[in-house]
Amino acid sequence: MSSIATIWYGIKDANGFSRGLLNTLSVGALLLMATGITIVIGSGCMDQKKVEEKGSIIKAGTVEISRAEFARELEVKQANYPYDIKDSPTEYNAMVLDLVSDLSDQAVLLAAAAAKGIDVSDKALDAAIADFKKDYPEDSFDQMLLERAISYPVWKKRLKKDMVIQELIMQDLVASQEIHPEDMIAFYDRFAGQTETQDSNNSAMMHEKDLALKLRIEKSQEAFGNWFQGLQASYPVYIDERVLSAFLINPEKQ
C-alpha cells in the first residue's frame, strides 16, 4: 500500500508535531503494516448494481472512485514504469491491480473517516501545503510535480485525503491504545539513551505527553492489522469487474 504508507511523511499531524518528530515516532512504519492486507470484494447484487449505475469502479461506504479518477491515478502510476510496459500485458495488468488494491484500502479508510465525521478544514490544508513547500525553494516544488506527472489539483486532493486518513488513525487507533505506568517506565528506559544524545539546543528529556504518544504509536503498529480488518468488515469494498476489465489488457486471458 505505497500510497497509504506515505500519509504522514512531510505533513504535520493533528497534534501539531513537526515532520521531524513524526519521523522519529516512526509513523510511516505504522502505515506500512497495512501492506499485504487483502481487500474485501463484495458480491452483493444490490451494492454491485449501485456501483455500476453510478459508473464507479470502486466503492466502500459512501466513498466512490469514478472511472475518470481511476484513469487519472493510473496515468500517474504508469509514469513511474517503463514507457513500453503495455508490451507486457502480465506486468501491465499487475500494475493496474496493484492500483486497485491501493485505492480500495484508501476507500475503506476514507469511508470510516466520513462515517465518524472526520474531515480537514481548508485552513488546515493550506497550512500543511505551506509547510510542505518550505522544503522546495523557488520553482522546485512545481518541478517535483512535473517529474512525478502529477498536477497541482490532484496533488492537493491527495494531500487532503492523506490528512483525513491520518486524523482517523490518530483518533480511532492511536488514541485508543491503553497506557499503563509500567509500560511508560519500560518504554522510557529503552529510549532514555537516545534522548540524551540529542543536540544541546533540544530538550534532553522527552515530555511525558510526547512519550505517551510515542508509546501509543508503537502499540498501534501491533494493533493496526486487526483494526484495519475491522474497518474492512464494516466498509466492504465493491469492485465493478466490468469497468475494471476495460483497464486491463486481454482480461479474458488472465
Q: pLDDT (tens digit, 9 = 90+) per residue, 38-72?
A: 333 443 333 444 444 457 999 999 999 999 999 99
Side-chain half-sphere CA neighbours of 202 within 13 A: 12
Give the model's pLDDT for residue 226. Answer: 94
- Quickly count helices (H) and strands (E) in the chain: 12, 3
Please state the rounded mean pLDDT for residues 113-122. Answer: 96
Please state the rounded mean pLDDT for residues 23-47. Answer: 39
Per the confidence metrics, is the pTM higher than 0.85? no
Give the model's pLDDT for residue 109. Answer: 97
Is 82 strand, coil or helix?
Answer: coil
Q: Which residues are CB-neighbours of 210 under 8 A, at least 6 positions away? A: 21
| Amino acid type, 141 | F
Give the model's pLDDT for residue 59. Answer: 97
Of the listed ranges 6-20, 158-172, 211-225, the least confidently predicted one is: 6-20
Percent of the chain at pLDDT exceeding 70: 71
DSSP-derived letter for residue 170 is I
Reported confidence tier of residue 4, pLDDT bands at 50, 70, 90: very low
pLDDT digits (tens, 9 = 90+) for 166-217: 999 999 999 999 888 887 888 777 776 555 545 444 444 557 777 888 888 8
- Do 53 and 245 touch, CB atoms closer than 8 A? no
Give the model's pLDDT for residue 253. Answer: 58
- Burial of residue 161, with CB atoms counted within 10 A of its CB: 0-12 exposed, 13-18 middle, 19 or more buried: buried
Give the model's pLDDT for residue 29. Answer: 40
> CA-CA distance, 174 to 168, in Å (whole number)?
9
Give the model's pLDDT for residue 215. Answer: 86
- Do 124 and 102 touch, CB atoms closer than 8 A? no
